[in-house]
Structure 1
Amino acid sequence: MTDKPLITKAARLSVAPMMDWTDRHCRYLHRLMSSETLLYTEMVTSPALVRGGALHLLDHDPAEHPVALQLGGSDPAELAEAARIGAGAGYDEINLNVGCPSDRVQSGTFGAVLMKQPDLVATCCAAMIEASPVEVTVKCRIGVDDQDPEAVLPDFLERVSDAGVTRFAIHARKAWLQGLSPKENRDIPPLDYPLVHRMKDRFPHLHLSINGGIQTLDEAQAHLDQGLDGVMIGRAAYHTPLDILGSADRRIYGRGTDRSGEAVVHAMLPYIAEHLESGGKLGQITRHMLGLFAGRAGARMWRRVLSEGAHKPGAGPDLVLEALSHVTAAQQEAGE
């Protein structure tokens, strides 16, 4: 486990938890690009761990550290047990989801709907903190539905921090629980970055990260320069990972050197081989690698070779090297 000062430093930049995307293979890939950035799991529900015994959801590679487990739930005792299990599995942080707007999440009374019940969130967090030897954090929205974020967000932060939470990641949009799909909730509600910055002014003792719509390291650095403690990037870190993570260690943390896509591919090959030897499928890993050369010469052929070939019988590291050869050839031709 990573100690608290180190993980707090890591939280200067983090990759957001994203359902169906930030699984263990994705996180391993991301870690090869950045040694420093804080990584998050997909959301794991506390009922799945505590009642369902789905401990396989906690599988991760030691190389992923620092890595945080995001939990979804609303029962304090159950979340406390899930936090204890997660900490025991080796995660460096336990994060409570108070931001996901999906119908499935609402039906379980967790996610963004909990913005309407800050006292319940506080009770859940207090129970989790008591049960977990590692830090408990919260990812939230600025409000939901017809709530006034100017009133709701500071009240939420005050109540939940009183329970012992000192680190929050704030998605700077409202969530509309009725009328918008989860995808629309990531795009349509307007971003309010200034509100999150005002929360840092109001609660200087809290570690606040901003999330939502941030596309580049330049944007991330601007938020840090304005006084926020951290920036959480989601889709851009997934779709253009090298642009975000490949130079993050140098630019955001002031240490290390930039990673090349070619080096990352070669570093993935032993991991891929081990996964295949254990009965896994190539596509489970390469689906996360499709954006590795986004915006670079050869990117289209890289995606095409992997997309068309990864699910064929016998597909393995040789296919990845074939895809890479197209990138190398295209970059040489382009003079990159």
Structure 2
Amino acid sequence: MIDWTDRHCRYFHRQLSGRAVLFTEMVVADAILHGPRERLLGHDAAEHPVTLQLGGSDPAKLAEAVRIAADFAYDEINLNVGCPSDRVQSGTFGACLMKTPELVAECVAAMKRVTTLPVTVKCRIGVDDQQPEQVLPEFLARVIEAGSDAVWIHARKAWLQGLSPKENREIPPLDYDLVYAMKREFSKTFIGINGGIADLDAAVAQLAHVDGVMLGRAAYQNAGLLTGVDAAIYGETPLPDASPQGGGTASFDWLALRDTMMAYAERVMADGGRLHHVTRHMVGLFQGFSGARRYRQILSSEATKAGVGPKLIAEAFAAVDLSAGPKPAVRDGATEAARLAG
């Protein structure tokens, strides 16, 4: 989620769910050691609970990055061993580290020594020609023994040669059963699942097998589903009738969200930011609502123009019929298969 889940995205998502744990975009340890720390690590107090996701393969550098991050009061530190992008591979971190579980274990141990926060790992089930049922148990055993408090598993292999990052999210087949087996084998460790989970119905179904569910692009591209998280996952309030898209409901206080995001955008612009830094993360909010297309057009085409201010958010919201809620969605075969697999 590099360049996606920045601080403005996380502030927006927090308005939709008070309980979901938010993850930062992956921040490289070297960047923290040598780059603009406030820009890389700064966040709004409203974002909590929020996890700092780190990339790196040098235990000493990761430990130093964790020490520096202590001043920014995150709730958890996560080591990304799942990203398959070319620029990540060139830095010898991300999914290619699945090939060196002993090094990942050293990284986890080094990070644990310098913080009292939970340290967790996000990984794939394997990479390239590895046999996941053979390598994943060994990988988990090593990182858990090193002190990892939880492991988030993207239930696909990553093909580091021959597939793009986008293809790596779609082409390698999902193997939920292997992740479930890992939860049974490592029953005392928090095991979370990621990959192919498109809505809240599928997320809830996964919780019969694992301890947590991670949504990435599904939550970004259809942010409205986050309005159902606190009820569906945490049981905080009586669950309204869920939409067929597994998410947002007409009962959510959309106008309060509008006002909150206008005020936030005003603060961002007063600090030298631009309106589209905020609104680019809001484009996917109203999937299925009448007027959503016009809403997207307003935020996509107008927010980058000179002189435009937070009132544009009100204009975009005014284009949507907020009273009716989203229309029923027609699921495609892949989405339905992913839902039933949960």
Alpha-carbon contact 1:36-1:249 (below 8 Å) kept: yes
- Equivalent of 1:231, from 213, 223, 242? 213
Residue 23 in 1 paired to residue 6 in 2?
yes
- 1:60-99 to structure 2, matched below 5 A, reads 60-99=43-82
Match of 1:322 in 2: 315
> Deviation per CA, 1:40-63, whole angstroms, max 9, x where unpaired?
000000000113354420010000
* Corresponding position: 1:166 with 2:154: no
Aligned match for 2:266, one of 248, 267, 273 = 273
* Amino acid of the structure 1 residue aligned with 2:260: A
Query: What's the offset of the Cα at 1:266?
Result: 2.0
In 1, distance between residues paired with 2:258 and 2:89?
Answer: 39
| Amino-acid identity (%) | 58
The TM-score with structure 2 as length reference comes to: 0.89
Name 1:10's counterpart in structure 2: none
Q: What residue in structure 2 maps to residue 140 of structure 1?
A: 123
Answer whether contact 1:208 1:230 (CA < 8 A) is retained: yes
Unaligned ranges ≥5, structure 2? 239-250, 328-342
The Cα shift of 1:330 comes to 9.1
Structure 2 residue corresponding to 1:58, chosen from 26, 41, 49: 41
Whole-Å Cα distance in 1 between the matches of residues 100 and 254 of structure 2? 45
1:179 pairs with 2:162: yes
Name the SS for the 1:42 alignment partner: coil
Number of residue-to-residue matches in the alignment: 314
Q: Equivalents in 1 of 2:9, 2:81: separation in Å?
A: 23
The Cα shift of 1:19 comes to 1.1
**CA contact 2:302–2:308 (8 Å) conserved in 1:** yes
* Offset from partner CA, 1:164-211 (integer Å, 9 cap, x none): 112010000000010011111111111000100000011100100000
Measured after TM superposition, the shift of residue 256 of structure 1 is 4.0
The change in CA–CA distance for 1:77 and 1:31 in structure 2 (over 3 A counts) is same
Partner amino acid for 1:64?
Answer: E
Q: Is the deviation greater in 292-301 or in 255-264?
A: 255-264
Matched to 1:290, the amino acid is V
Match of 1:155 among 101, 124, 138: 138
Aligned to 1:255: 236
User: Are the aligned partners of 2:2 and 2:26 in contact in 1 as well (CA < 8 Å)?
Assistant: yes
What stretches of structure 1 of length at least 5 have no aligned partner? 1-17
Give the deviation of 1:103 after TM superposition: 1.2
Q: Which has the higher contact order (CA 8 A, sep 6+)?
A: 1
TM-score normalised by length of structure 1: 0.90
Whether the 8 Å CA contact 2:80–2:123 is kept in 1: the answer is yes
Any conservation in 2 of the 1:125–1:160 contact (CA below 8 Å)?
yes
Where does residue 203 of structure 1 map in the other structure? 186
Partner of 1:109: 92
CA contact (8 A) 1:86 1:94 kept: no
Q: How much does 1:148 deviate?
A: 0.4
- 280, 284, 294: which one aligns with 1:287: 280
Describe the SS at the equivalent of 1:164: coil
Deviation per CA, 1:123-182, whole angstroms, max 9, x where unpaired? 010000001121110000000000000011110000110001120100000000100111
What is the CA-CA distance between 1:31 and the residue it aligns to?
Answer: 0.3
